[in-house]
Structure 1
């Protein structure tokens, strides 16, 4: 029987072009027991994907682990390289999206079916886009799949026509009509703007479904919620280890049984250090067939990356390759089953075997050894523990705040405190006044030439004189000062520093020129 989708025509070319400003295509994948993952349909038809990209989308759109207990839909994201030469950027305004990457947003559904070999029908609906708008696209997918089959031609055509009617993506606020409602949507001038999508006290205190449906969707807000993620942590203090690694643009592997948990965690981690852009390669979810994992020893691993994986043998391959190439071992955060009694401090015993490390391959060390700089805030950790348990006193200043908002606000403030010495240094130097008028290389590599206004020696002298609001480890002042200087020195040689400075100066230029749009 011929596929009914083949008879659908998405309309005039101008509608296809308008649709492409936001989305490349909808793709439905089916898991064939005999052949593996396969494409069931692509809409609009004749979207010019290469065979290699279609294959990559297929493999990344399914969980690698079969779990018969999964009865609810899973939502997750993946990112692949754009190897389709005819899939180009078409948006006339910033943000244009990425010409080199394709972002996948998925809803995976598993339904019991005794008529097939594995007794389960597994399908995934994907939105493929050049734009990294996961919060918006997951809203779209949930509305499309909540009450209908994935390949319903009427739903696909209706969704296409609505999205084709949207205005071109641009910085500012938008009202996007979609399937009987309007999605309030906002695009920040930069993806690294902090605290995007932070829920207001009014929304937190309201249980109204209408209030939630009217919530403003931010383009770059995280799809992960710390209230759901932290119970999977080995300890709350692990947040400070991860924060430090992210600030310094070091590699992190998120290891879990669920692609949803992986991608939500990666999203939440990138958000943790904003407004510092995490300048490494970022892959929310990867499988053994992913291009990244197939990298041979002759080509090497990326020097810095943040990835989510569920396959223990892939973890073993990456860690083994890092050791073989003499690259700093990536930090591994293993997310076990949810545990409401998450401890504040992890146990350091190398022999400890608990639910957070049981999935590691035999003989692999699950522990991470690295030098720490920032001191764990015990008061913060205790407050998070009480919020998770629901035992926080009503008189506490954070009693009316949810865990996710509290964690994001805390680390947003900590990042601002970390950056404050740089802002003070630039403001106090004569050269800083002319920095925004000085051409600088559009690169985030640590070996790029120094900006004319910045001297590490002068900055450290300013840091020593004025200090910082961040509390560093060490029993004596001299130890704390050494830890402080070591971390700031490491940050200044990392890609994150160049990415942050480029963002800062670029936005200042645009603001001065009045180029930051206000949207609709």
Structure 2
């Protein structure tokens, strides 16, 4: 009887090893994608998920519903052929356990590119073509790549490669795709990334925290076995064509920058999800390097699980930018303070896109335009507007126009943020006041009036040259989610830096002398506090190096030696 039992154990062990291997393998896939959904139109169910790859991935019912409705344009009639756009989906299930590579990515990338624990990005490729063999007379299907990464440029290109092949060939394409993605290197900021898939080598760059650093040279790819591989180099994984999106409203770019900076509620109305998602994306990136901390939905439908939350009749709409195509929204959201209505074509726009200030807006019947009663705090920079408008007339290449606009907006945001960065750095206590034997000091509190008093001698008007009510703009900014998000991040960083400085001081302290005359309870308390701080440093909550960690362990040993044996045993059990 012993032989069968032995073979069962072997079978169990083999299965267990296989399961571990599968789990380990898909971890690399999870560095880039959560899953890929195939959404089709079912005559009885409407839009329905036909398949999810890899097959072991589960979505909650609410996530599945949102994916289904976002996977098809709200009004399919005008979307014959292929349509591409991107969406944001609120995560409804358990908090994502990031892979080690994604944790590393979040630590090293610029803050405006970090993965968001509460949301997925979805990259949609929708096809609608006439097909008499089908009951409705149309083939309607989408692939949706779901990921934590905001790499709009990269994933749009990947969708454009994979989706047409999948529509022609079927499931085997997806099996190949997920296996190849599972072999990709991690998304490491500051490097050129090489991503081979379906005979194409995608090469792109992910910036690190030094987001202005020049892109490194592309190294020779000697290790690519097939010389026939087609290469596609994307200078940016995440940037879309900002100028193309904003061309029709370019004369109001400074007003829009203020609205986005202040996290004002904005609705973008367009005829297709492609146009509205690109416009929403362009708006949120106007304030880079500041992270846009309010919510934004590049494409939003009446079936979205947050529909009631965002279309409430409350006097003040929530801080969100919505991209919509359904005419129903023109009525539902007509009370919103800022509405951008755009058409399919790219227009030079000066005459068409004037600010509308009518009290009784009928947006449904109105012409394209920016509808707002907002009065900007700052004057326009006429020089950059003149340069961009001249570029339209002379047919300057779009990438040059985008580069000009991006540089101007980045300088404007940096000029706005530099005084804030300088002031928050001044909230740090003096290093000489940090004692290894006292509680870690905390940064001083942010005082708006103290900050505003610094502006006359060190304000943004000195670096950007734009005149206006800067003080009024800062006061309004202090009430916005963008300020709250920035301040929370910076205050956390200062607190961690103070903890690191104190730990370094503690690692060099003479604890053998300190311990003399101390009671056992004080010594044990010191040991437990150092251990706790060490644990936090391993989780990267406190940024100290390996050498400091080693020295701290030595300090623990120094004072543990002075305790009675029974206490040493208890402390060793707890460690």
TM-score range, shorter chain: 0.7 to 0.9
Runs of 5+ unmatched residues, structure 1: 1-8, 201-209, 321-328, 393-398, 438-449, 474-479, 516-520
Q: RMSD across aligned C-alpha pairs, in angstroms?
A: 4.0
- CA apart distance, 1:63: 0.5
Bigger shift: residues 46-55 or 85-94:
85-94
The equivalent position to 2:91 in structure 1, one of 82, 86, 90, is: 82
User: In structure 1, what is the equivalent of residue 221 of structure 2?
Assistant: none
- CA apart distance, 1:430: 6.7
Instruction: Give the number of the structure whose alpha-carbon radius of gyration is greater.
Output: 2
Pair 195,139 (structure 1): closer, same or farther in 2 beyond 3 Å: farther
Pair 489,358 (structure 1): closer, same or farther in 2 beyond 3 Å: closer
1:107 and 2:107 matched: no
User: In structure 2, what is the equivalent of residue 222 of structure 1?
Assistant: 239
DSSP 3-state at the match of 1:237: helix
- CA apart distance, 1:127: 0.7
Distance 1:286 1:314 in 2: 10
Alignment of 1:257-272 (within 5 A): 257-272=271-286
Pair 19,197 (structure 1): closer, same or farther in 2 beyond 3 Å: farther
Distance 1:410 1:365 in 2: 23
Mapped contact 1:266–1:284 kept (Cα < 8 A)? yes
- CA apart distance, 1:512: 10
The equivalent position to 1:290 in structure 2, one of 291, 304, 313, is: 304
Distance 1:493 1:68 in 2: 41
The equivalent position to 1:152 in structure 2, one of 164, 170, 173, is: 170
Alignment of 1:312-327 (within 5 A): 312-320=327-335
Distance 1:176 1:501 in 2: 36
Distance 2:86 2:213 in 1: 19
Pair 81,352 (structure 1): closer, same or farther in 2 beyond 3 Å: closer
The equivalent position to 1:420 in structure 2, one of 401, 418, 421, is: 418
1:178 and 2:187 matched: no
Distance 1:121 1:197 in 2: 45
Runs of 5+ unmatched residues, structure 2: 1-18, 107-114, 218-228, 435-441, 498-539, 546-575
Distance 1:364 1:414 in 2: 27
1:16 and 2:8 matched: no
Q: How many residues align?
A: 450
- CA apart distance, 1:381: 1.5
Pair 497,115 (structure 1): closer, same or farther in 2 beyond 3 Å: same
- CA apart distance, 1:506: 6.0
DSSP 3-state at the match of 1:149: helix
Alignment of 1:503-514 (within 5 A): 503-504=489-490, 513=543
1:368 and 2:372 matched: yes
User: In structure 1, what is the equivalent of residue 350 of structure 2?
Assistant: 343
DSSP 3-state at the match of 2:280: helix
Distance 1:303 1:350 in 2: 21
Distance 1:503 1:75 in 2: 34
Distance 2:317 2:105 in 1: 26
- CA apart distance, 1:319: 4.6
Pair 425,90 (structure 1): closer, same or farther in 2 beyond 3 Å: closer
The equivalent position to 1:245 in structure 2, one of 259, 271, 295, is: 259
Distance 1:333 1:195 in 2: 31
User: In structure 2, what is the equivalent of residue 205 of structure 1?
Assistant: none
Mapped contact 1:276–1:499 kept (Cα < 8 A)? no
Distance 2:388 2:43 in 1: 44
- CA apart distance, 1:268: 1.5
Distance 1:294 1:511 in 2: 38
User: In structure 2, what is the equivalent of residue 441 of structure 1?
Assistant: none
DSSP 3-state at the match of 1:288: coil
Distance 1:333 1:433 in 2: 49
Q: TM-score, normalised by structure 1?
A: 0.75
